[in-house]
Structure 1
Amino acid sequence: MAQKFRTLIGFSKHSVQQLVATAGAVIQGMTGNKAFPCPSPDLTAVQAALDELNAAIAAQPHGGAKATADKNNKREALIGVLQKLAQYVQLHCGNDLAVLLSSGFSAASTSRTQVPLPKPAIVSVDNGNTTELLVKVSRVGQAKCYELRSAAIGAGGAPGPWQTGGLFTNSRSIAINGLTPGITYAIQARAVGSSKRYSDWSDPVTHMCM
C-alpha cells in the first residue's frame, strides 16, 4: 500500500511564537506556488488573521485580562484558518511529499516505530518458603509485566535448560516456585510491554535454593 502523506495540523499545541512562524512560512511557501493555484481560504485571509494576532500580542503586556482574552481569540482564529488551508494542501498535493512541504506546512510523521523496552536488572534474590526463591526486579517504564525464567546450574557451572517462571505485574516481589533445595539456579527477567514487545533478558543472577 502506498504511503499516505498528511499535513501536520496540531496547531493548538503550538506556542504563539510557533504559530506565528508557521503562518509566515505558509504565506511565503504558497505565494505564487503553481501547485496550489487557488488556495482555500485564500492567503489574504491568512495574512489578515496573522496581522490581527500580532497586533493582539503587541497589546497584551499593557492591556490586562481583556487583552489576554483578545490575544487568545485571535490565536484560535488563526488556528482555524490554518487548519482549513492545511486540508486544502493535503487534498491538492497529489500525495507528493515535496509538493506538500513546498506549501510551508510540515508533514505529519509516518513513523510507527516503537521504542524498545530497556532490559531490567535483578535487584535481589532471597529464599522464601522451601522450593521457593523471591526475586526483586528493577522497574521498567511502559512495562505491563515481567517474565522470569530459571535454570539449574550444572556440575561444570553451566546453566541447564531454562524454565519459565511465569508473568508478574509486581516487580518488587516475584516468587519462583517448584525449585529443588540445595540446587543453585541462574535467574533472568525481562520486561513485557504492549503489542508483544519484550526487552532483552537481564544479566543472570545465581542463588541457591534452601
Structure 2
Amino acid sequence: MATKFKALIGFARMKDDELVVAANTIVGAMTDNPHFPTPSPSLEDVQDLLDDFSTKLAAARRRGSPEETALKNESREPLQLALQKLAYYVNGIAQGHLSTLLSSGFQTNSAGTIVQVPLKVERVRLSDGRQSGHVRLDFESQRKVLMYEYQYRMESESEWSDRLVTSSSKANIIAPLEVAQRYEVRVRAVNTHGVGDWSDTARILVR
C-alpha cells in the first residue's frame, strides 16, 4: 500500500527551543503560500501566540522563578493547539500531496525523512577585533542550518549573556567587552528539527 503523506501534528515532546523554531518555520513557509490561501487559524493569530510564548520563555530563562516558568508553560499550550489545528488545515488542503505538504514548513511522515538536530559546532575561534574591546568570533559552518546562537561571559562570572543570533559563521563581532579581561564564548546551531549541543568554549584575553 502506498504511503499517505501528512503533516505531523505532534508538538508536545518538543523542547521549548524546538517549538519556537518549528513555529517560526511554519509561519514563514505558509506566509503568501499560494497552496494555502486561507490558513485556519490565521497566521497572524499563530504569530501572536508565538510572540507571547517567546517573550515568556525569555523571561523564565532570565529570572527562573516558579511564576515565570508557570506563565511560560501556560502560554505554550495554546501555541501547540493552534499549530495542531493548522496542521489539520494543511492536511485537508494537501490531500497527501508531498510537495504541497513540504511547502507548508511542517514536518511530514515522508519516506526517508530522518529527523536530526544539528551537529555540535566545531572550530570556534576568537581573535582580536579592529577596535579595543572588540572580539571577532568565527566557527565552522553547517549545512541546512537556520541560524546560530552564541553566548559569552567573563571567565570570573557564572552567568552567560543573553543568547545572540547570527546567520553567518564568520566575522561576528562581540562588543563592548572589558579590556584586559578574559572572556569565553560558546555557539550552537539551530535547524527545523531543533537545537544542537553547545560547542566547546573558546577563550580570549580582550585587548
Q: Deviations over 1:128-156 (max 9, x none)?
A: xxxxxxxxxxxxxxxxxxxxxxxxxxxxx
State the AA in 2 paired with 1:16: D
What TM-score do the two structures reach when normalised by structure 2?
0.51
- Alignment match, 2:96: 95
1:31-50 map, 5 Å: 31-50=31-50
State the AA in 1 paired with 2:45: A
- Alignment match, 2:13: 13
Separation of aligned partners in 2, 1:109 and 1:32: 24
> Where in structure 1 are there 5+ consecutive unaligned residues?
112-210
Separation of aligned partners in 2, 1:75 and 1:31: 22
Separation of aligned partners in 2, 1:106 and 1:71: 24
> How many angstroms does 1:63 deviate by?
5.4
State the AA in 1 paired with 2:34: K
> How many angstroms does 1:42 deviate by?
0.5
- Alignment match, 1:107: 108
State the AA in 2 paired with 1:11: F
> Where in structure 2 are there 5+ consecutive unaligned residues?
113-207
- Alignment match, 2:66: 65
Separation of aligned partners in 2, 1:81 and 1:30: 14
Separation of aligned partners in 1, 2:111 and 2:8: 11
Aligned residue pairs, count = 111
Separation of aligned partners in 1, 2:94 and 2:110: 16
> How many angstroms does 1:110 deviate by?
5.4
Contact 2:98–2:110 (8 Å) recurs in 1: no
Task: Determine helix, strand or coil for the equivalent of 1:92.
Answer: helix
> How many angstroms does 1:94 deviate by?
2.8
Separation of aligned partners in 2, 1:64 and 1:56: 12
Separation of aligned partners in 2, 1:15 and 1:98: 27
> How many angstroms does 1:2 deviate by?
3.9
> How many angstroms does 1:56 deviate by?
0.1
1:134-153 map, 5 Å: none
Separation of aligned partners in 2, 1:43 and 1:21: 15
Task: Determine helix, strand or coil for the equivalent of 2:82.
Answer: helix
Separation of aligned partners in 2, 1:5 and 1:83: 16
Once superposed, what is the RMSD of the aligned Cα atoms? 1.4
Q: Rg bigger for which structure?
A: 1
1:1-210 map, 5 Å: 1-60=1-60, 61-62=62-63, 64-108=65-109
Separation of aligned partners in 2, 1:91 and 1:55: 32
Task: Determine helix, strand or coil for the equivalent of 1:76.
Answer: helix
Separation of aligned partners in 2, 1:63 and 1:21: 21
Task: Determine helix, strand or coil for the equivalent of 2:48.
Answer: helix
Higher relative contact order (CA 8 A, sep 6+): 2
Task: Determine helix, strand or coil for the equivalent of 1:80.
Answer: helix
Q: Give the direction of change, closer, same or farther, for the CA distance of 1:27–1:107 in structure 2 (3 Å limit).
A: same
Deviating above 3 A after TM superposition, structure 1's stretches of 4 or more consecutive aligned residues are: none
- Alignment match, 2:170: none
Separation of aligned partners in 1, 2:2 and 2:90: 19
> How many angstroms does 1:8 deviate by?
1.1
- Alignment match, 1:147: none
